[in-house]
Amino acid sequence: MNALTIDNLTVRIPLADRSVVHAASEVHLAIPAGTVTALVGESGCGKSILASAIMNMLPVESSVSGSVVVQTRDRVVDVFADSSFRGRDVALIPQSASSYLTPVRTARSQLEETIRVLRSHHECDELARLVGLDPRDLDCYPHELSGGMAQRVAIAGALVGDPAVIVADEPTANLDGDLTDRILGLLRRSADDGAAVLLITHDLSSLMRTAVADRVAVMYASRIMETGPAHSVLDDPLHDYTRDLLNALPSRGLNPMPGTAPQLTDLPDECVYHLRRPESTQSGGATELVTVGNRSYRTRVVA
Ligand SMILES: Nc1ncnc2c1ncn2[C@@H]1O[C@H](COP(=O)(O)OP(=O)(O)OP(=O)(O)O)[C@@H](O)[C@H]1O
Ligand code: NI
């Protein structure tokens, strides 16, 4: 059963200067219950916007087509039509955790409120220990917490309702190696307990080290370029972009990516990877996501 299904999602956000952000373009992504999918891609490609779309938290002026559907054990939720899903059915670990916490209340009082509202059986101190915090840290106000501590409070908050879907947006960005492994281990455990986890991350090295993800989805300039089992995508990529991204890793030769990642304002309505890598025969003109077995990759439509 797919706990999260994103079907043909396109999001455009008009800006005051009349330009338009191509935030998501024809995105298809399905995450089965009990699995972790890592969403990777360079800064600014639209990963966090996708997280906002799943939470139905896009800017009000956005134009949206396609659907995001969450299937739990007992109900099916169209997230654009019903916002009662947050917390218990779907939880977000936001990228900027410290701004997500209310500044005037301690971490403990915020976590206690979430536990009360969701009628959760979890306890604050137990959640603190799970995320590697000293329970006494919860008595701090957000400004007294480091970025990494605030992030772990947000992770604890996301676990309160044992949600069917967890969207974790760079949950380990402020954490050192040991804490990164602990948090990725926690997300893995949530998946093993039945959740569908979307793990948004820059950190391909941690993905390789921990093998936390079952599947990897690669995004470039608002589009999905490739999806597949993690080991296949990471060891034997099918898209030129994935190959470039992997070859830039220190462990794979530190070959710099050509050019720079594009801005999403006023992109043409097509894949633009050929502008970055002109010799790629997979981009330029109309493209489609081709599925072969349990993998898919974007390539040019042959006329
Ligand atoms: N609320 C918004 N309104 C308008 N444009 C936005 C909004 N949020 C993000 N954008 C734009 O959408 C693009 C994609 O942003 P997004 O935050 O999704 O990237 P990302 O892939 O998460 O990057 P990073 O890895 O740095 O977090 C950016 O160009 C950003 O400026
Ligand atoms: Ni982001």
226 neighbors 237 (Cβ within 8 angstroms): yes
Ligand 1 atom nearest 41 alpha carbon:
21
Residues near ion ligand 2 (CB < 5 Å) are 47-48, 95
Q: What is the DSSP string of 128-191?
A: HHHTT--GGGGGS-GGGS-HHHHHHHHHHHHHTT--SEEEEESTTTT--HHHHHHHHHHHHHHH
Distance 74 CA to ligand 1 centre (A): 33
Q: What pLDDT score was predicted for residue 301?
A: 93
Q: Is the CB of 44 within 6 Å of ligand 1?
A: yes
Residues in the chain: 303
Structure tokens at 18: 């009349």
For residue 231, what is the enclosing H or E element? helix 230-235
Which of 11, 40, 49 is the best mutation target for the ligand 1 pocket, counting ligand atoms within 8 Å of the beta carbon and taking the most? 49
Which of 18, 21, 45, 55 is the best mutation target for the ligand 1 pocket, counting ligand atoms within 8 Å of the beta carbon and taking the most? 21
Q: What pLDDT score was predicted for residue 182?
A: 92
Q: In what order do the strands lie in the sheet with 2-14?
A: 20-32, 2-14, 63-71, 76-78
Q: What pLDDT score was predicted for residue 82?
A: 84
Q: What pLDDT score was predicted for residue 50?
A: 97
Q: How many CB atoms lie within 10 A of CB 100?
A: 17
200 neighbors 55 (Cβ within 8 angstroms): no
The complex scores an ipTM of: 0.97
Q: Is the CB of 43 within 6 Å of ligand 1?
A: yes
Q: What pLDDT score was predicted for residue 174?
A: 85
| Tens digits of pLDDT across the chain (303 residues) | 899 999 999 999 999 999 999 999 999 999 999 999 999 999 999 999 999 999 999 999 999 999 999 999 889 999 999 877 777 799 999 998 877 899 999 999 999 999 999 999 999 999 999 999 999 999 999 999 999 999 999 999 999 999 999 999 999 998 888 999 999 999 999 999 999 999 999 899 999 999 999 999 999 999 999 999 999 999 999 999 999 999 999 999 999 998 899 999 979 999 999 999 999 999 999 999 999 999 999 999 976
Q: Which domains does the chain have, with CATH numbers?
A: 2-89+163-300 (3.40.50.300), 97-161 (no CATH)
66 neighbors 9 (Cβ within 8 angstroms): yes
Q: What pLDDT score was predicted for residue 302?
A: 79
Q: What pLDDT score was predicted for residue 208?
A: 94
Q: How far apart are CA 254 and CA 231, in angstroms?
A: 20
Q: Is the CB of 48 within 6 Å of ligand 1?
A: yes
Q: What pLDDT score was predicted for residue 191?
A: 97
